[in-house]
Structure 1
Amino acid sequence: MKKIIFLFLIIFSVITFGKKPLVVGMELAYPPFETTDKYGNPSGFSVDMATDLGKYLGREVVIENMGYGGLIPALKTKKIDIILSSMSITERRKRSINFSTPYAKSNLAILANQKSGIKDPMDLNKEGRKIAVKKGTTGHVVAMKVFPKADILVFDKESACILEVTQGKVDGFIYDPLTILKNWKKNKNTTEPILKPFEETPQYWAIAYNKNNNELGKQINKFIESYKKNGSLDRLADKYLAEPKEEFEKRNIPFFF
């Protein structure tokens, strides 16, 4: 049934727009950027941005929800046209896919167990320390590079990493500061946020596209340039990130935009 509906959407889009739909890969598990509403429909900052990109290109947008680790393989095999899922540019990823110009940036942070005694990020770089990371994320890559003495435990889901921290099975979880602050507020009795930057440079978010599709890349770059200039990024930030932005400013943490 799902295949029939998807095929119908493709046929409808071609008739309506004269172009194939833009299939956008996301993991709808990272609110408020990529998530679902109460009816199960794709929702959030990145969904709105993808919709606006589709309008700019004159193409219907189809959101493909999949696990974060499957996004790049899906792009390489052309199951999706782009990735718009809060993905950071890394040298490793650039070997197999292309990235647009950045539209946002983020540092990494640590959700530490209160009993771990961690006060500084480099406290994690010791024998016997255990760090939880989500598979395929920048936190996964950076953890292996910055904390080589620690044991890196890899999980498929963010929720599993947080549970490991709250139960004291690991010393810390590495992810973006928005997620770290949100989950610290939910678990103040067992966790502490470590927000001091420990990377050489911020993580820049961009839209990923296939290496054989440079023309699409050029169009995406033009879209991002105009999106920044006309204030659309700021409007989305006000819509979805007003409270986190205020919290970031209080703590002197660099914001995404």
Structure 2
Amino acid sequence: MLAALLLALAACVSKQEPAAKNTLVVGMELAYPPFEMTDEKGTPKGISVDLANELGKALGKKVVIQNTAFDGLIPALKTGKIDLIISSMTITDERRQSVDFSDPYLSTGLCLLVGKTSPIKSIDDLDKPGVTVAVKKGTTGHTYATRNLKNAKVLVLDKEAAAVLEVVQGKADAFIYDQMSTYTNWKKNRETTRALLNPFQQEKWGIALRKGDTQLKERINRFLGTFREQGGFERLGDSWLREQKATFKELKYPFFF
């Protein structure tokens, strides 16, 4: 009976393996438009979703998007709950201690959203007593503020929208975040905020995967190279970021992809 039970279990495992191998579970926080978000029906959409689906086609796998809080993405990857992270994640030495990254696919930088009448002109104006700086938990803005702002009060929040609201309401003097989001948040709050888009720290985004998954990393890098050569990133930019591309060109800032 024991032998029969073991054979039955082995058969079940054997039947499940192909499905697992044909599925790519991609983790992302669906709260970062236009990169990661949902439509009115709750369906994932955005630049990262399109990129994940293109990667799935190249690898011959069905893509499943797993919505996960940003600071929970790396733990989910390490414990095998997801296979990859495509969530506007900056490549950092600290994160490289836990996960591997693909070649970079996007360049951006940290900048500031400040109050409309604020005297702040650059990052150099922040590290002073009486200044409150909002950051989103787990981001490189959070890391930067923790390491470099010794005199200002650093307000750590779970959501981007909450950090923006602190600036809008005058409760925070600045919000440290990436250029694209800062531009978008300023557009939504022109009457109460200013965007200081000149980056004070350059960053690159990559696809994160488990350490030692060399074969998958090589396949992802080949996909990224081919996708770029065939104009895939240019098409994503035109589809989702046409206005931002024009604005950044006018400001003479390099544009991302």
The verdict on a shared fold, with TM-score over 0.5 as the criterion, is yes
Q: Which amino acid aligns with 2:34?
A: P
Aligned residues of 1:19 and 1:58 also touching (Cα < 8 A): no
For residue 119 of structure 1, what is the aligned residue in structure 2? 121
In 2: Cα distance, 1:181 partner to 1:106 partner: 12
For 1:241 and 1:12, the matched residues in 2 are separated by: 40
CA shift at 1:162, angstroms?
A: 0.5
Which whole-Å CA distance do the structure 2 matches of 1:89 and 1:55 have between them? 25
Decide whether the 8 Å contact of 1:122 with 1:147 is kept in 2: no
The equivalent of 1:240 in structure 2 is 240
| Alignment equivalent of 1:66, drawn from 65, 68, 73 | 68
Give yes or no for contact 1:121–1:196 (8 Å, CA) kept in 2. Answer: no
List runs of 5+ in structure 1 lacking aligned partners: 1-10
* Larger mean Cα displacement after TM superposition, 113-122 or 64-73: 113-122
Q: Which residue, out of 38, 43, 46, partners 2:45?
A: 43
2:12 aligns with none
Name which of 128, 131, 149 aligns with 1:129. Answer: 131
The match for 1:218 is 218
Residue identity in the other structure for 2:164: I
**Match 1:30 to one of 29, 32, 55:** 32
- The answer on whether the counterparts of 1:133 and 1:154 sit within 8 Å (CA) in structure 2 is yes
Q: Percent identity?
A: 50
Change (3 A) 1:32 1:12: farther
Shift of 1:148: 2.9
Contact 1:100 1:217 in 2 (8 A): yes
- Normalised by the length of structure 2, the TM-score is 0.90
CA distance in 2, matches of 1:150, 1:90: 24
1:1-257 matched pairs, under 5 angstroms: 14=18, 19-199=21-201, 202-257=202-257
Distance in 2 of aligned mates of 1:178 and 1:98: 25
SS at match of 2:31: coil
Structure 1 distance, partners of 2:177, 2:16, is: 40
Could you list the per-position Cα deviations for residues 84-114 of structure 1 after superposition, in whole angstroms to 9, with x for gaps in the alignment? Answer: 0110000110000000000001011101113
Could you say which residue in structure 1 is the equivalent of 2:3?
A: none
Q: Distance in 1 between matches of 2:17 and 2:256?
A: 33
Superposition TM-score, scaled by structure 1 size: 0.90
| Cα deviation code 1:197-239 (max 9, x no counterpart) | 212xx21000000003121111111111111111111111111
The structure in which a higher percent of residues are strand is: 2
Q: Following TM superposition, by how much is the alpha carbon of 1:13 offset from its aligned partner in structure 2, in angstroms?
A: 10
Could you tell me how far apart the structure 2 residues matched to 1:60 and 1:185 are?
36
Amino acid at match of 1:180: T
1:121–1:194 contact (8 Å) kept in structure 2 = no
Runs of 4 or more consecutive aligned structure 1 residues displaced over 6 Å after TM superposition? none
Q: Classify the secondary structure of the residue corresponding to 1:85.
A: coil
Task: State the alpha-carbon separation in 1 of the partners of residues 138 and 26 from structure 2.
Answer: 18
Is residue 179–residue 199 contact of structure 2 (8 Å, CA) maintained in 1?
no
* Separation of aligned partners in 2, 1:12 and 1:65: 23
2:144 alignment partner, SS class: helix
Aligned Cα root-mean-square deviation (Å): 1.7
